[in-house]
Structure 1
Amino acid sequence: MADLTGYHPVDDLASAWTLPATCYTDPAFLPLEKERIFYRTWQWVGATSMVQRPGDFFTYDLYGEPLVVTRGQDGALRAFYNVCLHRAGPVASGKGNRKSLQCRYHGWTYALDGKLLNAPEFEGVRNWSPQEYCLRPVQVTEWGPFVFVNLDDGAPRLREMLGAIPAEVARAGFDIADMQPVERRDYLVDCNWKVYVDNYLEGYHIPIAHPGLFREIDYDQYRVDTFRYYSSQYAPIRPAPPSGPIPGRDRRYLRGDGEQQALYYWVFPNLMLNFYPDNMQINIIVPLDTERTLTIFEWCFKQPGSGEGWESMQQSIAFSDEVQREDMEICNTVQRNLHSRAYNQGRFSVKRENGVHHFQRLVAEYLTDK
């Protein structure tokens, strides 16, 4: 059984120790993390473009829980467990547009609002009412071009989890309502999901691991601010040098006014939002097992059209892909080394690793909260 005995989380960063290595290597932790973390927090499941019209639906497997998201004839967005209440058959498959959902096992039919419409050849059953056999609902909401669900009916609303993020993003000039996913890439990383999140939450490694990104941002001003359920990373884009670009040192986000900035947000436990001058990225970190993590990258742009807009989009995706592969290399190595008898716990840089400390405190809080 997963055990945090011996780990004593403290609020004082200067005195704190990291999570023990067993939290990243012991297979007993992932079932507990699913139940106490992933099933109790808001999870990205897809794009709003998949449920734009009345009758649209799509299915999603959320760490073993089958779900279906629908847009009702009344225009309301809903989500349900994709489980027929007769004998647990699926009521939907894939994605599409329908006026109702029908179980692929015995043909029970449900409206898009979850109500049972038809149970074939069920006459004569006693102590049974169709009104009591509605699909079990799940919390669902949309923000910008994204759909999120939460299996915990008592969880805080997504807007509470996001805090000031929507207002800050709007103030910085990003209109996410006008952005749409343009490309998705999935990366398989040979590490525990928490190793990948730890890595994202600090810029400490940028000068060494990301030389290209280091040229783009003003590292001296890089900072991480932590809040109840999220953290933000401030990373201003370097202004163009007065003498112009330096030969052999290409810049992706070269700007002359010095006002452009990149915004990085992480929302507990596994959602990352990256805003650059010409695009937005959403990264979802999906644990496959103790030693393997799927990282889903989606790039969102306003309609790029063709010509310069299309070229800029492709350059942004290529640059992000370069940074991601650099992160994968170090995360894979860290995971292997966490098995070494030479390592158990580490300490935090007070200047650079407050975001990692914040994340690990939340992990411990949720795992010990029954």
Structure 2
Amino acid sequence: MENPGRQTAVHALVDELATGCERPFSDARAMPPGVYTSADFLSLEEHAIFAKEWQCVGRASALRTPGDYLTASIAAQPIVVVRDEKMELRAMSNVCLHRMSVLLEGRGNIRRIICPYHAWNYGLDGALKGAPLMDQQAGFCKESYKLPTIRCEEWQGWIYVTLDQNAAPVRQQLAQLSELVDAYGMTNYVETFYEEHVWDTNWKILAENFMESYHLPMLHRATVGPHSRLEEMECPPGYPAFNYHWITKEASLPIGNAHPENSRLTGHWRKTTALLAIYPTHLVTLTPGYFWYLVLQPQGVGKVHIRFGGGLAPEFISDPEANAHMVTLKTLLDEVNAEDKRGVEAVFRGVHAPLAKPGHLSHLERPNYDFARYLASKLAAR
């Protein structure tokens, strides 16, 4: 954004967003179209949000044994999270210290981190263990090479990472959320499926789609819509690091309500679903019997990489019908995702229209209002 004219334009867009967020919720409107279409706005997000905030990269249970790893990116920084020999989670730069190749891709299990370019290889602690023929260079000292460490913490069974050495611990930032959902026992939910996708939309459009259930009766009329009553939804004000809303109903799937052997949840909580949006990109549907989640990573203005996973509460994992329940759930989620994909890609096409302008928000879109104010607060402090 070196061009002064472009800087002025993106700052004006931030100011427009901030001004809109000054409205009371009773008069709140959607965000301006430019926040979804401007590449300079995304660059500002990368600098002010993605390079500084805690971000989820997956479930800790996905890394069960020494050498299990997953990869991700924070802003422009490739990272790897590995379960080391001491069974600790360790996050490091996923870039070789030789000629700067990315080291690992995807997920898997390794004994050493081996660079695919020149075979420099690192232990699970990031220390350089081998470098072919480098002993012939007098200036080379293997012991001086170690992959930079990245902050990594676990919360409720999730792995979070950040590039900001001064960020408050994730458990501190999400303390109020822990109080709200502790009874579910989310830490012990078992992930049974994981996929990755790329959709043609802006990351914020997909995040906002998750944050509100106002769209369920219409967009999901062929799946969950008929079971979704708007009067069953509660949207309290959010917190600085997250927003949430509740749906309390008798579930259409047995695993949507608490298992008979679930003694953690009582009263209405046995049939209450929590929808959690942990800023900036971690989205969780948490029911008494199952969970599913999205973790978003923008790939430019018009594409978003999605980590999509889910699974069952421990009582349903132990149930003889667990496999049948999970197949039913996954089939439903795939259908719902297909509907959401059509919806968010249609919105992305629409925000480019010359006549597009933001309308008033419903009382069921309180989380969207809180999300906009979160973005404005982070970007205005640029």
TM bin, normalised by shorter chain, reads 0.7 to 0.9
Q: 1:180 is aligned with what amino acid?
A: V
Partner in structure 2 of residue 203 of structure 1: 213
> Structure 1 residues 313, 71: closer, same or farther in 2, change over 3 A?
closer
Alpha-carbon displacement from aligned partner over 1:247-283 (angstroms, at most 9, x marks no partner): xxxx335879864111111101111111123211111
Task: State the 1:90 CA deviation.
Answer: 4.1
> Partners of 1:142 and 1:56 in 2: how far apart?
16
Query: Where do 1:244-283 residues align within 5 Å?
Result: 251-252=252-253, 259-283=270-294
Q: What's the C-alpha RMSD, in Å, of the aligned pairs?
A: 3.0
Query: Does structure 2 retain, via aligned residues, the 8 Å contact 1:216–1:238?
Result: no
Per the normalisation by structure 2, the TM-score is 0.81
> Structure 1 residues 90, 286: closer, same or farther in 2, change over 3 A?
closer
Query: Does structure 2 retain, via aligned residues, the 8 Å contact 1:216–1:252?
Result: no
Query: Does structure 2 retain, via aligned residues, the 8 Å contact 1:304–1:313?
Result: no
Partner in structure 2 of residue 317 of structure 1: 330
> Partners of 1:362 and 1:203 in 2: how far apart?
20
Task: State the 1:67 CA deviation.
Answer: 1.7
> Partners of 2:91 and 2:340 in 1: how far apart?
34
Partner in structure 1 of residue 96 of structure 2: 84
Q: Given the alignment, which residue of 163, 166, 172 partners 1:154?
A: 166
Query: Does structure 2 retain, via aligned residues, the 8 Å contact 1:161–1:267?
Result: no
Find the residue that maps to 1:83 and give its secondary structure: coil
Task: State the 1:166 CA deviation.
Answer: 3.1
Q: Structure 1, unaligned stretches of length 5 or more?
A: 240-250
> Partners of 2:306 and 2:106 in 1: how far apart?
21
> Structure 1 residues 286, 329: closer, same or farther in 2, change over 3 A?
same
Query: Does structure 2 retain, via aligned residues, the 8 Å contact 1:218–1:236?
Result: no
Query: Does structure 2 retain, via aligned residues, the 8 Å contact 1:145–1:181?
Result: no
Q: Given the alignment, which residue of 133, 147, 152 partners 1:140?
A: 152
Partner in structure 1 of residue 339 of structure 2: 326
Q: Given the alignment, which residue of 355, 363, 379 partners 1:342?
A: 355
Task: State the 1:107 CA deviation.
Answer: 4.0
1:164 aligns with 2:176: yes
> Structure 1 residues 132, 16: closer, same or farther in 2, change over 3 A?
farther
Aligned length: 355
Query: Where do 1:43-54 residues align within 5 Å?
Result: 43-54=55-66
> Partners of 2:186 and 2:80 in 1: how far apart?
25
Identity of aligned residues (%): 25
Q: Structure 2, unaligned stretches of length 5 or more?
A: 1-5, 259-266
User: Quick check: which one's helix share is greater?
Assistant: 2
Query: Where do 1:112-131 residues align within 5 Å?
Result: 112-119=124-131, 120-122=133-135, 125-126=138-139, 130-131=142-143
